Amino acid sequence: MTPSLRAIRQISPIKISAIKINPIKSRTSRWALLPLAALWFGAAQAFVVTISPGTRAVYLRVGNGVFTGTYQGGGTPGSGGTLNKVSVTVPAAQLGNGSDQLMTSDGTQTTSHYDGYTFCNVPNEVYVGGFYRRSTTTGSASLTVSSPANLGNGSGDSIPFTQIAWASSGNGDTDAQPIPAGSFNGGVQTLASFPANTWRESCHRFRYSNDAVVAAGTYTGRVVYTLSAP
C-alpha cells in the first residue's frame, strides 16, 4: 500500500480578521469587528523555485510562521506560529456603499523563509507559501482554503464570507502569481497546485466589499488553509 502524505500535511488555521464598522447615528453606539483571514510570500517574475528531491514533506506558512534559518541555507521548518487577524474600520458614512475597504493584518513577518528576501509589506499584506517535496518529480500537492458561509456578531446578524476578497502580489514580482487573487466562497475551494519539488509563495492583500448595510457589532469567522498531497 502506498503511504499517504495526509499524515504529514500542513494545516494552517487562518488568521482572524476584524472589520470595524462604525454604527450609523440612528443605532446603538457599537462598532462591528469583522474577523477575516490572514495569509503570506518574494522575487522577480513570480516566485516559483525548483527544490532538490528528498524526503517526502509538505510545508505551509500563512501569515507568521516557524522556520529555523532559511530553506536555501539548509534551515528547518517548524510547526506553530501565531493566529493572525486582518481588520478594517468602516466609517458610518461609507457603510454599505459598495466602496471596497482595505483590510490590514497584525502579522509581523515580511520575509520569505526560502531565502530571507523581504517579499511582503505589513500591515497591508499577508504571506502565503511553502513547498512540496518528494523523492521523484511526479505528482503535486493541493492548496485549499475552507471558510464558513458567514461571519457572525453573536446577535443573529451576519456578513457573507463572500464579501472578503484578496489581491495577490510580491515585492519584485512582475508575472502571474502562483497563488492567485480570489475571494472566499463560504466553503472549501482550491487555491493552487504545488507540483513536486517546488517552493511557491505570494502576498495577499485583503479587502471587504462593503456591499450591504449591516448592524453594528463584532463579526467573527475563521478560515483554514491546507496543503496536502495524496
pLDDT tens, residue by residue, 76-132: 999 888 889 999 888 889 999 999 999 999 999 999 999 999 999 999 999 999 999
Q: How far is CA 3 from CA 7, 19, 49, in A?
A: 9, 43, 26
How would residue 4 be classed by pLDDT, with cut points 50, 70 and 90? very low
Residue with cell 519539488: 197
pLDDT on residue 88: 85
Residues in CB range of 14: below 8 A, 6 or more apart = 37, 38, 39, 62, 83, 145, 222, 223, 224, 225
pLDDT at position 16 is 36
Q: Where are the alpha helices (DSSP H) in 60-164?
A: none
